[in-house]
Homo-oligomer: A and B are copies of this chain.
Amino acid sequence: MENIKAYIQEHKDRFINELIELLKMPSVSANPAFSLDIINTAAAVKASLEKAGCDFVEICDTPGNPIVYGEKIIDPNLPTILVYGHYDVQPADPIELWTSPPFEPVIKKTETHPDGAIFARGSCDDKGQMYMHVKALEYMIQSNTLPCNVKFMIEGEEEIGSKSLSWFVERNQEKLKNDVILISDTGMISNQQPSITTGLRGLSYVEVEVTGPNRDLHSGLYGGAVANPINILAKMIASLHDENNHINIPGFYDNVAELSLEERAEMAKAPFNLDNYKKALDLNDIYGEKGYNTNERNSIRPTLDVNGIWGGYTGEGAKTVIASKAFAKISMRLVPNQDWEQITELFTKHFISIAPAGVTVKVKPHHGGQGYVTPTDSIGYKAANMAYTETFGVPAIPVRSGGSIPIVALFEKELKSKTILMGFGLDSDAIHSPNEHFGIFNYLKGIETIPLFYKYFVELSK
């Protein structure tokens, strides 16, 4: 497919600049302060789909952030590919750790990205990877090589649980009808070794509040005589893991799908260097559940992490106070067969049950989603693998990811079709962290590889 390479060469500066414009919009879904930016970003995505060649595009209202829907139907008898992506991004804080402003994209060369990478919140997750599909469509339209129908569904709440998307999908099954769902919102092993994500973890995200005295108290006059909500919260959080780092919530592991030794051996074949892993994170050692290695701990095993904690005096200097309340945001990553709503209930019941007298505890579920595993013998998987093999020169390796795209399970349930996760980002791209970036190589390689997926998917579907 020399034409696509030539087309990318000719247009790559424009491809990059268009993405940079999109990255300038702070479409943070977690914070209502950015709701206007959300609207503007949705409008920009709509315009880009029209420009690329969709013959119908609309911004669909939802109870939350709008969803951009677009389509190019060339022949009802041909297969239909549904492309999913999201235009919302994670909050940028801690801002002070960014080496350049999160919403002022700049291109910098890195060791991993000698051709340069675009540094901006959302560059990899997911604006950059989503936009690869828009540009791939542009090429197929311009070169008259679009081999099937395509539908786009780009949402604005992925980073906060995709509530409105479920609402939308349940109400638009006919409109969204497709033969395969294609998503680029995951990573690959390296720029030399593509991989296809065959499993995702589910998620249960809750916020807890521990209340002690009805007002902040002087720690001298009351210290030692009343339950300190921060000390208690720490005790409660600590008790959620045992000495082997198993999660201490009754029933938590009941439905966990255990992998066979063969499957674990297969997984272990993926290239991984523990020393480099520790070095990249400046860790003197790793940490985690006894009996599993690093790649298992963050993919096939459920986890519980505190994502945020706050209470009392956090300003400069010292304040001798006992806070009235302490808070924490806690998320659990789940594996296939764990139901997120049931896990949320188990957590809530357990967490309230371990609160000592002297405090009251509230648990507020934020959102969640089911885990997912995709078969490697499907037409979609094979087409993706053929596409990667052609552009990278080596076949893709199937990997289980620790991340969550809760709606993948929803798609299978509501739309009855399989999802193929063709990720082009790297673990080192710092998604959800300061200095998120996306390699120019990866961006352009994605645009080059996607049309091949279309080609082989249609061929294999015949």
Contacts and interface: CB of A to CB of B under 8 A. Distances in A.
B321 A433 contact: yes
A180 interface: no
Interface string A296-324: 01100111011111111111111111110
Interface string A203-234: 10101000011111111111111111011011
Nearest to A310: B314
Interface in A312-346: 312-323, 326-329, 331, 333
A212 B283 contact: yes
A294 to B, nearest CB: 5
A328 B237 CA distance: 15
A137 interface: no
A307 B219 contact: yes
A226 B331 contact: no
Interface in A326-381: 326-329, 331, 333, 356-360, 366-367
Contacts of A160: 317-318
Contacts of A222: 298, 402
B320 A307 contact: yes
Contact of A203 (B220, B317, B360): B220
Given A308-B313, A308-B314, A309-B314, A220 B404 contact: yes
Interface string A59-99: 00000000000000000000000000000001101100100
A282 interface: yes
A430 B308 CA distance: 29
A30 interface: yes
A307 B298 contact: no
B287 A358 contact: yes
A432 interface: yes
A311 B237 CA distance: 14
A241 interface: yes
A346 B214 CA distance: 33
A294 B357 contact: no
A111 interface: no
Contact of A357 (B217, B233, B284, B404): B284
A333 to B, nearest CB: 5
Contacts of A288: 224-226
Nearest to A357: B285
A133 interface: no
Interface of A: 29-32, 90-91, 93-94, 97, 159-161, 187, 201, 203, 205, 207, 212-228, 230-231, 233-235, 237-239, 241, 281-289, 294-295, 297-298, 301-303, 305-323, 326-329, 331, 333, 356-360, 366-367, 401-404, 427, 430-435
A-B CB proximity, top 8 nearest:
A224-B303, A220-B403, A30-B317, A308-B312, A285-B357, A227-B287, A238-B238, A287-B358
